Structure formats: structure tokens, C-alpha cells
Structure 1
Amino acid sequence: MIIKRSEAQESIAGPAGYFTGEARIEPIHLEAREPSRVTSALVTFEPRARSNWHRHPLGQLLIITSGTGWTQIEGGERVEVREGDSVWCPPGQKHWHGATATTAMSHIAIQEELDGKNVEWLEPVSDEQYQQP
């Protein structure tokens, strides 16, 4: 059994190459340990912050823990998500998620690695894409 104490884990700023605006990542279990492939983190988005477009080789589960946010799959409509909601994004589906323009949002993100990779980061979500209903 491995226990990681919360005070021993530092949060990190969401890298500018993968996020627009202020986002913070708090590790839960960022590295998969064989034979498990699971990684996870608590991500907090300040208002207007969002991830880049991205996809996960084995899909991603989001559990909204606070606030209100938006998520969208490529070609689909932007959808509002709130505290207590969960979102499943299928393997390989291009998508983004983040806060609304006026409210922060936090979620737990859970995904699995395939061949050592759990995400493929793509281009930023433009302001025009972000603002479309």
C-alpha cells in the first residue's frame, strides 16, 4: 500500500502549453504503477480558464467537485457541467473542458495510460470556440 499525504504533494500551475488562463493541478496519482495504468489529478480552473483540445487513448472520466464549467467534444455543442456531475469522454474523442466565463470549476480527472501515454495535447481552444453556445 502506498499513501501519499496531501501536505507532501505540491500543486502545480497548469502549463501554458496545455491550458488557457489560470489552472491548478493537484496530484492525486499522477504516475501509473504497474500493473495499473490509472492516473488522476484534481484540476481547478479559474473563470475563463480551459484546457486545450486533447484526447485520451483509453478515455477519461471527469467528476465535477465544485463550481460550474463547460465541456465540448469536437463537432458537438458546448455543455454546462456542475458540482456532482460526471462526464465520460470515450477513447480518442477530441474534447476540452474548463470553467465558465464567470465561475471557477474543479474536477477530478481519471484516465489510463496506453504505452506510457495518457493524453495527446492538441491546439488551444480559441476565444471564439470558447464563447460559442
Structure 2
Amino acid sequence: MTLLTLFTPAGVLPSAGPLRRAAKRLSALGFDVHIDQAALAKKQRFAGDDDTRVAALHRVALQAPSVALATRGGYGLTRLLDRIDWKLVARSVERGTRWVGQSDVTALQLGLLAHEKG
């Protein structure tokens, strides 16, 4: 099975229900779904404070799943860009991780591209 990790690097999820449904549907499609331990964290409008969210991103990079799927976009990930261990994230890509998402996740993808070019 293909390992897919759900993580929340930006805005908070309003409730656990949609996350559970997404995991169930992705599992039915044949993915081995893992939900990051901080996916439901909350700090004001964010999915946890900046430390929590950057730690989650680094955990996912260390895990190096086939797919790292952000649960939502929205504002928040751009606050982390100067704190991301880009070499760690790049190694996850080398190991086959595809970082997937929308909105703020584009900043992560472009940051990775910029840091790859050095």
C-alpha cells in the first residue's frame, strides 16, 4: 500500500469529522493513511502554534510517506518558511515524497524549489 500522511500546516480544521471521513475515503482508495498527531491542533486560527506546525512538517519529512497531503490551505504556512529545515524536506522528496496541497502549500513547494537551486 502507498503511505499517505495527512497533516495540517496552516489553518485550523474546524472539527475532526471531515478529517476522519477523508482518511476513510482515502483508505478505501487503497492508501495506507496516517494522520499526523498535530493534525487537529488549534491555536487561534492556526493548526497549533508555529512550533507545533513546523514540528509536524518535519515529522512528515522524516517519515517520508509517498504522499504528504495538507488537510487544508489558508494562511499560516508562510509564517514557517524561515524555520523549515529545507534539507530535511528535500531528502523526503529524494525518497519519493510528493508534497500535495493548495493555497499556502504552494509556498512550501516554491520554497523547496528555491532551496534546491541553492
Report the TM-score, using the length of structure 2 for normalisation: 0.30
Q: Which has the larger helix fraction?
A: 2
Whose Rg is larger? 1
The structure carrying a bigger strand percent of its residues is 1
